[in-house]
Amino acid sequence: MQKSIDTQDAPTESQGQPQGWLNRTVIGAGITSALGDFCYETTTVILPGFLAVLGLPPAVLGTIEGIADAVASFTKMISGFIADKLGHRKLLVVIGYGLTPIGQFLIALAAGWPLILWGRIISWFGKGLRGPLRDAIVMQAVQPETRGRAFGFHRATDTIGAVLGPLLGVALLGWVQGWNGHDGSFAFRVVLWLSVIPGVLAVVAFFTLVRDPEHSPNPALRFFHTLRGLPLRFKRYLAAVGIFGIGDFSHSLLILAATQLLTETMGVVHAAQVAGLLYVWRNVVQVVVSFPIGVLADRFGHMPTLIAGYVLGVLTAILTAAAFALRIDSIVFLGVIFLVAGLYMAVQEALESTVTAEMVSQELLATAVGALGTVNGTAKFISSTVVGVLWTAISPVFSFGLAAVLMLAGTLVLRQAGGAQQS
């Protein structure tokens, strides 16, 4: 008979009390994520410039990022369910991290969009495979009352790689650009090749450092029955996350926006470097504020803090639309946009999973986190594709303005869901 699903009480530790929140598993997962982000965030920061050198329009970037997000999202759902059913998580996470450098390898070889698309799909399939399982392992390695701190620490270490990788990538891009006898894409390819190294190290780190807390298999679980049995309040929460996510475009498009706004005065390569540094600045902000946000959430509530973060997401889209409307190429103004983006991403990445953990039973935690990832990824597929296509077909002002409206609608629905949870 299938295990019963507790839809009312918060999850409890079924395998004994975990150790302090800063334990080996939390630290190991953080180191692994830092190396993984070092690998694929280097690609994220130089990919818009790489596509520009290859002569590909914004619609191509938006479509590639959207498809990759969709692949990751559906993979998250399946991987979470399989983990809850079979009780095996660590091996799947290791495989997920191993796919990222393989994707980088393909992108480095690309002469046009098809191989870039396949490389991004493989990398994001790995990201979807590992994400909910890694998060479930971390959540079960700490006490419920310290999840905000643990996830804030994890996201901070995760984003350190997202700072160092793009920084090194931008520096190498400028250095290799000075070599003679090569076409414009050569410098980008060198950076992509080198980014494979930290991706391989991430696999080694997770395998050797992380301990997966005991997780009993539940072979009676049935996929669609399990989804239907998730708590109603969690389904309302997913609806809010999905509406917000339809406007929450990939930040590769934010990098492309900065590149286009700066190209007229700087040239495409220099503009791509500056845009990359602005993205690094976004990641620095995320590193600095992730842990304090986790502490605040533990003290004042995870849902109210997440709502505040969503408001900052709306502001990011509004400011980007304004930059295009007013043709603002000020690095300071663009820096403010990336600052706000870093703040809202820190809140979103640290707290969406912890709010999920407050709503579902321990036995279905990986499935619920997978469902969250699926909703997020599907919404971002729509958002990145639509924003990129509307940018090309109509204007960037219209596309980012529409994104702001959708993100605001999601924020209002989340506020209602938060009120229903408290009542």
Q: Which pLDDT value is given to residue 406?
A: 95
Does residue 253 form part of some domain? yes
Cβ neighbors of 326 (< 8 A, separation 6 or more) are: none
Sign, CA torsion 53/175/40/252: negative
Q: Taking each helix axis from N to C terminus, what angle separates 251-266 and 268-300, rounded to the nearest 10 degrees? A: 140
Taking Cα atoms as reference points, which of 129, 80, 95, 100 lies closest to residue 368? 80
Within-domain flag for 291 = yes
Mean predicted confidence (pLDDT) in 95-124: 88
The per-residue pLDDT for 214 is: 57
**Chain centroid to CA 278:** 17
Q: Do the domain assignments include residue 222?
A: no
pLDDT computed for residue 2 by the predictor: 38
Based on the structure, what is the number of domains in the chain?
1
- Phi/psi of residue 233, each to 5°? -65, -35
Residue 94, in any domain of the structure: yes
Domain hosting 316: range is 24-210+229-422
Identity of residue 412: L
272-299 pLDDT per residue, tens: 888 888 988 998 898 888 888 888 888 8
Of 288, 287, 297, 258, the C-alpha closest to 275 is: 258
Q: Note whether residue 299 is domain-resident.
A: yes
Q: Is residue 166 part of a domain?
A: yes
How confident is the model over 214-266, as pLDDT tens digits? 555 565 555 556 667 677 888 889 999 999 999 998 888 898 899 999 988 88
Question: What's the 3-state SS for 55-69?
Answer: CCCHHHHHHHHHHHH
How much is the average pLDDT of 38-66?
79
**Dihedral sign (CA 345, 213, 238, 420):** negative
Which pTM does this prediction carry?
0.67
What is the spatial distance between Cα 66 and Cα 380, in angstroms, rounded to a whole number?
6
- The residue ranking higher by pLDDT, 218 or 378, is 378
Question: Which whole number is the average pLDDT over 303-320?
Answer: 94
Residue 15 within a domain: no
Question: Is residue 2 a part of any domain in this protein?
Answer: no
Pair of tokens at residue 28? 């190991």
CATH code at position 391: 1.20.1250.20
Question: Are the CB atoms for 277 and 168 separated by under 8 Å?
Answer: no
Per-residue pLDDT of 322-337, as tens digits, reads 999 999 989 999 999 9
